Every structure is written in C-alpha cells, then in structure tokens.
Structure 1
C-alpha cells in the first residue's frame, strides 16, 4: 500500500489529486545558469493550497536578488527582474532605472521576503527531519538585515559556521545552508548533525542565495523565551 504524503507546510495528509511538489529553491533563481546547477535540487510534498499560497513570494524574492545582484553570474536574473518590474503597475513606483538601463532602486515588501525564507526553512526542515514544524508549537523569526545583526545573532551564526557542515540544494552557488537544533555548550569536532530531542527548544538555520543575500531563521518553542527570562531573574 502506497504511503500517503504529508504536506511540508501544514502537516496534513494530502489527497493524491491535491499532491504537488515544492522546490527549494524556486527554479527562477537558476536563471542563466547551466542545467547541471539544478541537479539534486531538494523537493518536498506540498498540498495544492499551501503551494499556491506561497507562489507569489517566489517572483518577489527573485526580483530582490536581481535588484541587488553584483555578480555577473546573476546578470540573467537581473534582466528578468527588470522585465518583471516593467510589467507591474507604474503607479506603485516599486523601482527606478538609471540612465544606462540598470535598476538603481527598488522597494519590496519585507514581509514577502520573510515569507520566502520561512517557506524554505519549513521545507528544508521537513526534508531533514521527515515532519512538518508545527507553528502552534514554535514561533519562527527571520533576520535579513545583514548590516544590523546583533551580538546574539552573530553568536548563532558562529555556532552554525564553526560546528556544522553546510549543505546545498541544486548547487552551492544558488543555495547553501545549515539547519540544526541550537544548544548552548555544544562541542562538535566531527561537524555531524545533531539529532533533535522530542521537545527541542530551538532550531536555527542560515541560508545564502546566489552569493548575494543571506538570512538567519530561528524557530523557538512557544514559552521558551519566557522560561529563560524567569530563570535568569531567579538567578539574580
């Protein structure tokens, strides 16, 4: 008997007629790259509703990568972005183009960009652990401001960089990432993955796209931060 698929996002069983695939990352980030870059791109099962819910974020994120692109390898994405923005309502004034035809400024919805990171975090979490992360149990936070990362944020980045291996989806130049449970005082000379506990308090993930943009995503068990505050207050 064929095992019923579970949606990476909502965690519900999927009827066969509603079964789709979520690709991580979306194929539009491979614009201009050779087909070999797409080999072994991660896919997870998604219900039709969840797949459709996140579809608009794919184009917006690609447009952000195209607008900030500095590497020549991403020129095709930048050109695609310009054409995409030119089709949009000019009254919204979401972008400006300089006198040589390059995008010189863009206004994007930060919430949409955060949704893209959450989507990929949840998909890669599902791929890694075989279950959907329950947003009734965890709050998920996204930090995309690389110029204003706090001391705590830098500590988490160091934890992922120094203690664990990076993985890739498709090609490391398109998406490389690390996703692990977060535990204080861990030593890990082998850089092997940690196996999550049943009630893990935190998961953290670092994601770098097209060598142009990076984010940190943190999933915290609801109530855990309050527990820490009370514990620290009791130790004073």
Structure 2
C-alpha cells in the first residue's frame, strides 16, 4: 500500500473548507496531534490558530494570504481534476484513523462526494464528523457500545449484505442496494451492537454523540478492507 505523504501512528485530523464551527473543531484538535488541510481547509486551521502540518489539494480554494503563511514544504499541490481534494488527501494519509471535519453540512453534493470517497478508499479508515452526525465505512466487523435506542442507520453505496446483533431490525439475510433496500432509521435494542459485512459498501451513520463509540469501534476492528484493485 502506498504510504502517501502523511504517516502517523495516531489519528490524523483532516479539515475541509466546509461547515466546521469552532466548537466542533476544538476537541478534534486536542485529539489529533497531526492536522492536515484539504485545500481551503488549510485556511480554516490557520483561523483556529493552528499551523497545518500539511495542505493537500489542487489549491484552487487556498487564498494567497493563507498560502503565504504556510511553509512551502508543507503545501502539496496535486493538480489533477479527476478526484476531489478529500480524495487527494485521504489516499495520501496513512494513519490508524482519519477524523474528517468540514465535509458534512453546507452543500449536499459535497457531502455525497465525501461519502463516495469513503467507499473508494476502503483501506483508509475515516470518520466524517458533522454537527449532527458521524459517518464511516463499516469495516468487515464492527462492535459498538451504544445507549439503548440510539439511532443507527446503515446506508449501502452498492450491493452488500451481512449480519447484526443488537439492532432492533436485524440485517441477517438481507441484500442492501441504494435503489432498493436501505437500513436508515434502525436503532439499538442492546448495549452492544455487532455488525459483519461481506463487502466494503455500507456506511454507518450515527448521532454525533456516538462519535467516541464509533472511534473505538473503528480503531479496535480486527480487520480492514484491502485497497481496491
């Protein structure tokens, strides 16, 4: 696997140029010692008083003032236009987990694009953080400790099936596809939820209050998906 530009043994914070209020960013900055800006996300980090360790993207959103403040070796210009800045960043960060803020909320097309990248880069564990929700690609097996009645939505990005324990509506024996059967608005009916999926195509969508539980589940997952061929 290509190790990319950024390598860390601890979670990395990736900041985009979208909706990322200070109250959401502050605890992520404390959690992650390495901070990366996705193009204009570099300016968002500067505005929060943080010098980014790297800025990656096509740089069409990073203004000249912000660019002048960031040391040139930390700026990585990837000019191709066949992928988004989020994709350019995620494929170049090798870490046990990437927290991605500033990619949910604001424009719907940007949110859909970010969630598509999670499926395109299944070997890169990533947790999208928004004001209301956290989203991640479900690994082959995932265990979550959650309060009873927690909203636990499952959304397929392509055909996928699996097994579950601890959900009010089990998924065993079902084949999910985005145009036929989805698993939104499910909820927990036990304090521990266990999921097993047969393909890297299912998104887990939880309330933002479940962020710590989803982080633990992703970090403790026994297996990861391989990179796509």
Check whether TM > 0.5: no
Structure with the greater alpha carbon radius of gyration: 1
Q: TM-score, normalised by structure 1?
A: 0.29
Q: TM-score, normalised by structure 2?
A: 0.29
Tell me which protein shows more strand as a share of its residues.
Answer: 2
More helix by share: 1
